[in-house]
């Protein structure tokens, strides 16, 4: 499976880095200007330090990159974390960066597009934009880790959310309730 990962400047860098480490797929990475700031501020790393986990990284200002064209098939585009500014651009059809252009490609070619929002509360404008994108086939997935299995630490919260993304992509089976828990 060929997956494009975009990192934008919304809080939640740990989710992106751990996804890159755990996702067993051919991965290509695009980090926005503010995504790079986020990686440095939250984790003390740069986009280049993610090289061991990806096949190739593209610059967000390289609109000639192969992923900017529908003639170069990919299976999914995951923007993690996805800022509300990025949501607004995608919903409005703005493809002025490689991240937003690749999202436009995913929508027009009907490739899987997963937008992992990390913002709260959400304005009515953002909710309307998310609804529009959802109607167009995008999966809107706020970063909201499940708590029903009583995770022991923060890493388990992150892992549970990433497991959900990977099940949506078809890389793993979703963790459901055990039969005895339903009785």
Sign of CA dihedral 96, 28, 75, 20: negative
Per DSSP (E only), the strands in the chain are: 2-7, 26-31, 56-59, 76-82, 112-117, 139-140
Q: Each residue of 118-149: pLDDT tens digit?
A: 888 999 999 999 999 999 999 999 998 777 76
Residue 34, Cβ density class (10 Å: 0-12 exposed, 13-18 middle, ≥19 buried)? middle
CA dihedral sign, ordered 158, 68, 62, 2:
positive
How confident is residue 116, by pLDDT bands cut at 50, 70 and 90?
very high
CB within 8 Å of 115: residues ≥ 6 apart: 79, 82, 86, 87, 90, 103, 130, 133, 138, 139, 140, 141
| % of the chain surpassing 70 pLDDT | 94
Domain covering 2-18+27-143 in this structure, CATH number: 3.40.50.1950
Q: Is the pTM of this model over 0.75?
A: yes
Alpha-carbon distance of 27 to 34, in angstroms, equals 21
What's the token pair of residue 37?
């700031």
Domain residue limits, the chain: 2-18+27-143
Helix (H, G, I), strand (E, B) or coil at 118: coil
Listed range (125-129, 148-152, 175-179) with the worst mean pLDDT: 175-179
């Amino acid at each position: 499976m060929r997956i494009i990962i975009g990192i934008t400047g919304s809080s939640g860098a740990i989710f992106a880095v751990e996804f890159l480490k755990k996702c067993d797929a051919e991965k290509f990475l695009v980090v926005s200007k503010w995504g790079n700031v986020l990686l440095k501020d939250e984790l003390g790393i740069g986009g280049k330090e993610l090289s061991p986990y990806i096949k190739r990284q593209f610059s967000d200002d390289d609109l000639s990159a192969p992923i900017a064209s529908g003639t170069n098939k990919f299976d999914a585009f995951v923007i993690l974390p996805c800022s509300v500014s990025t949501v607004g651009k995608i919903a409005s059809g703005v493809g002025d960066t490689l991240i937003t252009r690749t999202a436009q490609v995913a929508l027009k070619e009907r490739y899987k597009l997963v937008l992992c929002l990390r913002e709260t509360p959400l304005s009515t404008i953002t909710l309307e934009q998310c609804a529009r994108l959802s109607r167009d086939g995008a999966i809107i997935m706020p970063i909201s880790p499940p708590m029903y299995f009583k995770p022991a630490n923060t890493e388990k919260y992150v892992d549970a959310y990433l497991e959900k993304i990977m099940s949506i992509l078809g890389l793993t089976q979703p963790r459901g309730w055990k039969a005895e828990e339903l009785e």
